[in-house]
């Protein structure tokens, strides 16, 4: 949300509203050591030098969850991997 507000693609009030909506989602902490090797493989398959974003993809894949992202590149990567993904604007 910060990036969207900074780029003037969203106003601050809407940014705060979206954050409140995100905080109301039933989010849980995932702690599985098996995610790190999978994130490594995903990063390599996507030609990424860092596994940070690949961890989000690995978690979504592991949980059978839909990835919500403001990054069209992340959405496209998820789709290539067969992970449901929605671009949030």
In a shared domain, residues 39 and 15: no
- Count of the separate structural domains present in the chain: 2
Per-residue pLDDT tens digits for 17-61 = 999 998 998 887 788 899 999 999 999 999 988 888 999 999 999
- Other residues' Cβ atoms within 10 Å of the Cβ of residue 66: 12
In a shared domain, residues 25 and 35: no
In a shared domain, residues 23 and 37: no
**Is 1:19 a contact under the CB 8 Å cutoff?**
yes
Per the structure, the complete domain to which residue 8 belongs is given by 1-29
3-state secondary structure of 23: helix
Whole-model pTM: value is: 0.70
Which residue is associated with the tokens 């992202």? 69
In a shared domain, residues 53 and 23: no
Q: How far does Cα 57 stand from its chain's mean position?
A: 7
Q: Terminus-to-terminus CA distance in the chain, angstroms?
A: 9
In a shared domain, residues 47 and 89: yes
Give the per-residue pLDDT at 44: 95
**Which neighbouring-strand residues pair with 86?**
68
């Amino acid at each position: 949300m910060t990036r969207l507000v900074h780029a003037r693609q969203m106003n601050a009030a809407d940014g705060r509203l979206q954050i409140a909506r995100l905080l109301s989602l039933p989010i849980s902490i995932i702690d599985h050591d098996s995610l790190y090797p999978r994130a490594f493989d995903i990063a390599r398959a996507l030609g990424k030098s860092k596994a940070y974003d690949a961890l989000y993809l690995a978690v979504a894949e592991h949980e059978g969850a839909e990835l919500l992202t403001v990054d069209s590149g992340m959405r496209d990567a998820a789709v290539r991997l067969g992970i449901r993904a929605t671009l949030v604007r």
